[in-house]
Chain A
């Protein structure tokens, strides 16, 4: 299943946050969206996932979602959004309970995703007992449990310290190698974008518009060892963002 965004415009009251966004997300591709803070990256993701309605323009699903997909557009949030009163197992179970599954099917899916994400020995733990990295792994397991067609990731690594971030990035690359998932990945971290993105979309400051789309052909699993070659791409992206970020930084909130 591909996604296609056509002429997306969105504003909150008088404030235009996104204007004229056209973008394709192809199956098996990770599309990274970067931009200065407040440029509407997260809004764009919520529009794609149907949590908000664009003022103008449409988001189209092209082709049917893969058979067995319970929730084709599935989010992974920056703050993990785990229920603190449910265990790891219970948090995954939560999103399966509203679907027509037998208890044994549900149990099989939970065991499967927790095994795939190496969380099976933590299944009885409560979120408060887990580190930030483990919490985000639980959220990833929860997202995988509904067999998504596209993962919508809203700064998934931004709440983690840099070592944990590095580990999780390896996890994500490994996961993509095995499962070839499709994702739209919002971040403000350029290193994440060049490590994970097949296509990097640079948004401008408010109102967010697409400034440039950078494609990187290098296979994901090679990138860690060939960062030197990617450095030029990262510097190019920083060149695009720097001035915008500077101005955005000095803007008054709610201006």
Chain B
């Protein structure tokens, strides 16, 4: 009888390169870092002048909260952020739609947008001060300009990417052009527009702080600047933590809006 042919299991070589959600890892890393940092400060490895302990920064935050100044700084900042971002976004969506829909407007405005977009808007702040005054005007205008350009680019990119076959479908059923824009193009561009909002919101926060550092009595940026010039690093860290929380809240809010509006995906 001949020997049976040798048998062998096929070696597994798939798997990997796929992400699975690990909900606990993030908080664990964060807490571990805080503990190491705190321990390092208490054991004298980290000089308090170089970097204050997290507990000291938290203490500075508590003082700020108790003195009532937190709300003063925060409300001043949020007011600028909201007015600047909303007006920049409204104008940006309108300009982006115009550029996305009309070849003439695109040919006329797009080179201008491309030329102004890369300018750090904070460089224009002195001009804005001359145009809009040293008060709220210049700060809001800086945020408005900073928000406007990324919004324009996100919106017209979104309009460009709307499935042409859907537009052709609308035309084939005799839909009016305005209906096609409102019911087909805008919802189709919405995912791109919302991810544009994420970018413009973080740019708005960066510009807010920069503008407040140049001249403001109240505002998170002013608070951080003052802390820095007094070498109060604990207050500085507290201020930076507030900014980080602001950014996280904004991105959480946009996430909620995305979930609600893009339910169909």
| Residues of A in contact with B (beta carbons under 8 Å apart) | 49, 51, 70-71, 73-75, 77, 79, 81, 83-86, 94-95, 97-98, 126, 128, 142, 146
Q: Per a CB cutoff under 8 Å, which of A74, A77, A85 touches B165?
A: A77
A139 nearest CB neighbor, chain B only = B169
Give the distance in Å from the alpha carbon of A167 to the alpha carbon of B214 in the complex.
Answer: 71
Flag if B179 contacts A97 (CB, 8 Å): yes
| Alpha-carbon distance between A114 and B248 when the two chains are bound, in angstroms | 45
Main secondary structure of the interface of A (DSSP, over half): loop
Interface of B is mostly: helix
The residue in chain B whose Cβ has the minimal distance to the Cβ of A126 is B264
Contact B265 A83 (CB under 8 A): no
Cβ 8 A contact of B168, one of A81, A142, A146: A81
Set of chain B residues within 8 Å of A126, measured between Cβ atoms: 264
CB contacts (< 8 Å) of A83 on chain B: these are 166, 183-184, 187
Quote the shortest CB–CB distance from A146 to chain B (angstroms): 7
Closest 8 CB pairs of A and B: A81-B169, A95-B173, A85-B264, A75-B172, A85-B187, A126-B264, A81-B165, A71-B174
List B residues 146-192 near A (Cβ within 8 Å).
Answer: 165-166, 168-176, 179, 183-184, 187-188, 190
- Tell which of B172, B190, B265 touches A49, judged by Cβ atoms closer than 8 Å: B172
Cross-chain contact B264 with A51 (CB below 8 angstroms):
no
Q: Please give the residue numbers on chain B whose beta carbons come within 8 Å of chain A beta carbons, in ascending order.
A: 165-166, 168-176, 179, 183-184, 187-188, 190, 262, 264-265
CA distance A83 to B173 in the complex (A): 13
A124 → chain B, closest Cβ, in Å?
12
**CB pair A51 B168 closer than 8 Å:** yes
> How many A-B residue contacts, CB cutoff 8 Å?
50
Closest to B176 in A: A98
* Across-interface contacts of B262 in A (CB, < 8 A): 85
On whether the beta carbons of B174 and A128 are closer than 8 Å, the reply is: no
Give min CB distance, A65 to chain B, whole Å: 12
Chain B minimum-CB-distance residue to A86: B264
* Residues of the B chain whose Cβ atoms lie less than 8 Å from the Cβ of A75: 169, 172-173
Q: Which residues of A contact B188 (CB under 8 A)?
A: 85
Q: What is the CB-to-nearest-CB distance from A144 to chain B, in angstroms, rounded to a whole number?
A: 12
Closest B residue to A152 by beta carbon equals: B172
Instruction: Give the Cβ gap from A110 to chain B, nearest Cβ, in Å.
Output: 14
Given the complex, which residues of A lie within 8 Å of B172, measured CB to CB?
49, 51, 73-75
B264 in contact with A84 (CB, 8 Å): yes
- Given A98-B174, A126-B264: A81 and B179 interface contact (C-beta under 8 Å): no
Residues of B within 8 Å of A146, CB to CB, are: 173
- In the complex, how many angstroms separate the beta carbon of B179 from the nearest chain A beta carbon? 5
Complex CA gap A79/B166 in Å reads 10
Closest B residue to A78 by CB, please name it.
B165
Asked whether A79 lies within 8 Å of B165 as measured between CB atoms, the reply is yes
Which residues of chain B are within 8 angstroms of A74 by Cβ–Cβ distance? 172-173
A116 to B257, CA, bound (A): 37
* 23 intermolecular pairs with C-beta atoms under 8 Å apart: A51-B168, A51-B171, A51-B172, A70-B174, A71-B174, A74-B172, A75-B169, A75-B172, A75-B173, A81-B165, A83-B166, A83-B183, A84-B265, A85-B190, A94-B170, A94-B173, A94-B183, A95-B173, A95-B175, A98-B174, A126-B264, A128-B265, A146-B173
15 extra A-B contacts, CB within 8 A, seeds A49-B172, A81-B168, A84-B265: A74-B172, A74-B173, A77-B165, A83-B166, A83-B183, A83-B184, A83-B187, A85-B187, A85-B190, A94-B183, A97-B179, A97-B183, A98-B175, A98-B176, A142-B173
Q: Chain B CB within 10 Å — which of A49, A81, A84, A126 has the most?
A: A81
Question: Taking CB as reference atom, which chain A residue is nearest B166?
Answer: A81
CA A94 – CA B172 in complex, angstroms? 12
Residues of A within 8 A of B265 (CB): 84, 128
Residues in A whose Cβ lies below 8 Å from that of B171: 51
Q: A70–B179 Cα gap in the complex (Å)?
A: 16
Closest to A73 in B: B172
Query: What separation, in Å, do the CA atoms of A81 and B165 have in the docked complex?
Result: 6
A81 CB to closest chain B CB (Å) equals 4
- A-side contacts of B184, CB under 8 Å: 83
A128 CA to B171 CA, complexed, in Å: 23
Question: Closest Cβ of chain A: how far from B143's Cβ, in Å?
Answer: 31
Q: Complex Cα distance A83/B264, Å? A: 10
Residues of B within 8 A of A128 (CB): 264-265
Alpha-carbon distance between A17 and B259 when the two chains are bound, in angstroms: 46
